[in-house]
Amino acid sequence: MEDGREQGRLGPIRPFLERQGVVLLDGGLATELEARGADLDDPLWSAKTLLDDPDLVRQVHFDYLRAGADCISSASYQASVPRLVERGLTESAAAAVLRRSVELAVEARDRFWDEAANRIGRLRPLVAASVGPYGAYLADGSEYRGDYGVSEAELREFHAERWSLLSASGADVMACETLPSRAEAGVLLQLLRETPRVYAWLSFTCRDARHLSDGSSLADTVAELSAEPRVVALGVNCVAPTLVPALIAELKRAIEKPIVVYPNSGEAYDAVAKHWIGEAEPVEFGRASTEWRAAGAELIGGCCRTGPEHVREMRQSLLASA
């Protein structure tokens, strides 16, 4: 019988790992939309652009692919039927917005792949349906704390409808990301197990190199999740790049599945002044990605404040000799 690692590789990421040893993810969608003029000062955050300017969403997806991403994630991170209904949409219209988030990514991928030059030396890129945490719906920063104050039954009720819509949307994989708690990961694992032929990765926010944002053990959490064959990777995102090597070491200690990491640019967000502090240097980010790969990560990308230029540098650094 195949071990847990090989079972995970039976999913859509397997061809990339076999050919090039790494899956290059995209960068931060929301912050790239903001960089191009989108106003995301809204509880819907990046999902607001699904209503205001879907063409811009599609173009950003395309630009990430052109920069070298093997997988792009939909703009559904902060989209949910309840939040869209609060905005004034009917439930059916809200459901259509969620499906449309994946359709836009698929359209960008298909346009990219239809251009023959893009097929040289590349595998057909993947589309991930982004599944943000309950804290993203709350829009209060609790995805970095995990202190929701709700039961697992309430978490399941929140996630179930969106999971049903996104898992049937045509995405290649579900990206369950920025998860702050073991309990929420458990709810998403239940939904995955109830959905045949669907694959997912789960990535967490962490307070330090050993603990999730809610204080749960990172090692214990991923060890529990790794038993599910259709969990194709486990790891972290939206963390500081400096923390990534230690987090990879902790993950390697606990699991044999592929490890996914996509940290922020390295800048810090001043929540009072509402602006970013520091520098985001794509070349340095690309160099750091080779260190993460050497440490054991196999799915690598960027989160907040990383853009196509970061992806381009990562691809050059990671696949220069491929």
- Name residues whose C-beta falls within 8 Å of residue 99's C-beta, 6 or more positions apart in sequence: 165, 166, 169
pLDDT at 2: 40
pLDDT at 276: 53
Per-residue pLDDT band for 226 (boundaries 50, 70, 90) equals very high
DSSP codes joined into one string, 250-287 = HHHHH--SPEEEE---S-EEETTTTEEES---HHHHHH
pLDDT at 269: 58
How does pLDDT run across 251-310, given as a tens digit for each residue?
Answer: 999 999 999 999 999 866 555 555 555 456 788 999 999 999 999 999 999 999 999 999
Query: Which among 171, 100, 182, 89 has a CA at the least distance from the CA of 133?
Result: 182
14 has pLDDT over 50: yes
Instruction: Tell me the pLDDT of the chain averaged across its residues.
Output: 92
Provide CATH code, domain 4-319: 3.20.20.330
Task: Compute the average pLDDT of residues 61-66.
Answer: 98
- Decide if 169 contacts 103 (C-beta within 8 A): yes
The counts of H helices and E strands in the chain are 14, 10
163 has pLDDT over 80: yes
Instruction: At 130, give phi and psi (nearest 5°).
Output: -75, 125
Structural element, H or E, at residue 127: strand 126-131
- Per-domain boundaries in the chain: 4-319
Q: Return d(Cα 318, Cα 45) in angstroms, integer.
A: 31
Phi-psi region for residue 298, left (φ > 0), alpha (ψ -120 to 50) or beta?
Answer: alpha
Q: Return d(Cα 244, Cα 267) in angstroms, integer.
A: 15
Q: What is the CA radius of gyration of the chain?
A: 18
Give the predicted TM-score (pTM) of the model.
0.93
Angle at which helix 182-193 crosses helix 218-225, to 10 degrees, equals 10
Rounded (to 5) percent helix, strand, coil in the chain: 50, 15, 35
